[in-house]
Amino acid sequence: METVIKLREEYIKLGQALKAAGLVDSGVDAKFVINDGMVSVNGQVELQRGKKLTAGDKVEYDGNVILIEE
CATH at 29: 3.10.290.10
pTM of the model: 0.95
Give residue 46's domain range: 2-69
| Number of domains composing the chain | 1
Judge whether 5 and 68 are in contact, CB under 8 Å: yes
For 19-62, strand residue ranges (E) read 39-41, 44-45, 52-53, 58-61
- Give pLDDT, residue 5: 97
pLDDT band at residue 12, thresholds of 50, 70 and 90? very high
- Give pLDDT, residue 14: 98
Mean pLDDT of 37-48: 98
